[in-house]
A and B are shown apart, each in its own frame.
Chain A
């Protein structure tokens, strides 16, 4: 499957493992709850581990583990749930997270620009055919009144 990462459309091999599914090989992401429960086991797996955070989760809960997590997925249950934007800002601005922050779930191409300005650097859109248009929105504005965070 293709995603946008660091302003490019690339092939991606991460997959999300639901809480009730068995862990599998390769690079996988799991929910915050599963990460907390199975952290030791997950750290021993052969692939890389990412953690998926929803709007109602607290970023603070995972702050201490960020060094072990190369991918944080911020998952939109609905595009209007703006908590995701603050989660991204906190990850970069407060906890100095250096890994990949990827938007997933139900969000719009037209949110990609704002998300990029609060530190999201990868975007997994619902429809891959929207990727080129979404990528082009990153150039919508050349000036801003606020500092962006990367």
Chain B
């Protein structure tokens, strides 16, 4: 993974010093709440229900064991012994004290981490495919381009005060695991007719209040033009995006209101004027690529026979392998998901003990690297098949081996009303209740591939509108109600879920979910997935049952 050079290190250290000064000015009353708000958000600091929340960047989801140990230390020293992994591959602390945040940032900088642009109306952390570089369906590894974009976006002087936040995702595989169609800019590495690899550029996608699927603005962009094209889009957005209404300020609204034809004309015109001065140097691309060279895989990893033997002998292990590991491009290796969705813990949360233990396991079994996924789990990407059994045993002890990846209990869930000042309704409690109702792992496995996403408000941090089942908390006269949607997807055939009917009361949500799952079990054809069944029959069969008593 990318290692900082002296310049990278200097920059984040200087950013810590700058933020320390800004925080001190605010605490002394020299700058207003409003001004400090903009400054702190640009460095990941929210003021939340109980305390400030600090969001730390996980650059395209890639972290190492040293960084995990630092997160554990911060959780112990400055927080309540845990942290939270988000849907954009970042890490959040929910209980730091504002005056201690500069110290936390200094600790982070010592392991090449920071909180730069993890919130605010600026260019956010770039996200990517959690299986980048190891998956079997890859066209090209997207991580070097993510890093190039990370550098370009970091402290970009022209685009620090955008109309609204701006998120970029990059995918290099055939299957889009990075939800690129729901980002302000989505980049997809593709082959052109000549067999060269470049980017398909999408623009104007997004979730939140107005979910919109991104549209292709450039079917094929040569790699050397990556930054000039991004800059052209950003300049047009910065100049013409709406600033009169924050709910209409995302680029998706500009694209929608101008029309794609007009918008792309503006971008093209701008791009032609700047592209020759901003070409990516091929040496620079090569240097960055070298940082993502494959680790020293063992060539005889596939010779091992114990792996097959263990699966025959131990059903629980075999089940875990089936659900929580993925194929790897190198024979004899697999990518391992660590489920942060154990039945009795809030989705995406990890304790300091788990963080430290995972750091040790990463060192032992996966070249010291750990990834976070946009479904709020972790991955050890390069595990030899011979090591899977001992790894599984240790993960099981740590409660990180629930065999539920991609299933009904692998829910995406925002912090909700318990922590977030924006939320209208609780989400963690509902997730717990659904988990308790679905405590039979065989039943979960029978349901199979299903994505349940739940957000506590329409800002949609948990991407409920693209959940196969979406749950959205709303406030009705001071009470917590939940709107259900079916049929959303953030993968290749992107879709926004359709509303099932009127919102249901808090104590009816779990029943509604189990009813929906029962309808699926009864009416599916052969091995038809939940999403495919919804596509085939529509929402009515589900609606009839969920609202049967009303």
Contact = CB atoms under 8 A, between A and B. Distances in A.
Contacts of A118: 157-158
Nearest to B18: A140
Contacts of B38: 79-80, 108
Contacts of B35: 79, 108, 110
A130 to B, nearest CB: 9
Contact of B121 (A80, A142, A143): A80
Given A108-B39, A141-B155, A145-B11, 15 more contacts: A81-B161, A82-B162, A82-B163, A83-B238, A85-B161, A86-B235, A110-B22, A113-B157, A118-B157, A141-B14, A141-B15, A143-B10, A143-B11, A143-B14, A145-B155
B260 to A, nearest CB: 22
20 contacts: A55-B243, A80-B38, A80-B121, A80-B161, A82-B159, A82-B160, A85-B159, A85-B238, A89-B158, A89-B235, A108-B31, A108-B39, A110-B31, A110-B35, A110-B39, A113-B157, A140-B18, A144-B11, A144-B157, A145-B155
A110 B18 CA distance: 9
Q: For chain B, what secondary structure do more than half of its interface residues adopt (helix, strand, loop), or is it mixed?
A: helix
Nearest to B38: A80
Interface in A132-150: 137, 140-146, 148
Contacts of A140: 14, 17-18
Contacts of B152: 145-146
A82 B157 contact: no
Contacts of A117: 157
A115 B159 CA distance: 11
A114 B160 contact: yes
Contacts of A146: 152, 156-157
B154 interface: yes
A94 B160 CA distance: 20
Given A80-B121, A108-B31, A142-B10, A86 B22 contact: no
A84 to B, nearest CB: 8
Contacts of B239: 83, 86
Residue in A89, A110, A118 with the greatest tally of chain B CB atoms within 10 Å: A110
B429 to A, nearest CB: 36
A145 B151 CA distance: 6
A91 to B, nearest CB: 12
Interface in B18-34: 18, 22, 31
A72 B154 CA distance: 28
Interface in B31-60: 31, 35, 38-39
B286 interface: no
B273 A94 contact: yes
B341 to A, nearest CB: 37
B153 to A, nearest CB: 8
A85 B162 CA distance: 10
Given A79-B38, A80-B121, A85 B10 contact: no
Residue in B121, B161, B162, B243 with the greatest tally of chain A CB atoms within 10 Å: B161
Contacts of A110: 22, 31, 35, 39
Contacts of A114: 155, 157-158, 160
A137 to B, nearest CB: 8
A93 B333 CA distance: 51
A92 to B, nearest CB: 11
Contacts of B162: 82
Interface string B216-254: 000000000000000000010011000100000000000
Contacts of B235: 86, 89
Interface of A: 55, 79-83, 85-86, 89, 94, 108, 110-111, 113-115, 117-118, 137, 140-146, 148
A136 to B, nearest CB: 9
Contacts of A142: 10, 14
Interface residues of B, number: 30
Contacts of B10: 142-143
B287 interface: no
B157 A148 contact: yes
Interface in B51-97: none
A147 to B, nearest CB: 9
A144 to B, nearest CB: 7
A115 B38 CA distance: 16
A10 B479 CA distance: 60
Contacts of A145: 11, 151-152, 154-156
A85 B160 contact: yes
B305 interface: no
A118 B155 CA distance: 12
Contacts of B18: 137, 140-141
A113 B159 CA distance: 13
B7 interface: yes
Contact of B158 (A81, A86, A144): A86
Contacts of A111: 161
Contacts of A148: 157
Contact of A82 (B14, B17, B151, B238): B238
A142 B273 CA distance: 29
A146 B121 CA distance: 19
Contacts of B17: 140
Nearest to B10: A143
Residue in B17, B151, B154, B155 with the greatest tally of chain A CB atoms within 10 Å: B155
Contacts of B157: 85, 113-115, 117-118, 144, 146, 148
Nearest to B22: A110
Nearest to A82: B161
Given A80-B161, A108-B31, A114-B160, A144 B238 contact: no
Nearest to A114: B157
Interface string B337-354: 000000000000000000
Nearest to B158: A85
A112 to B, nearest CB: 11
A90 B515 CA distance: 58
A29 B440 CA distance: 75
A113 B11 CA distance: 14
3 closest Cβ contacts across the A-B interface?
A: A82-B161, A117-B157, A114-B157
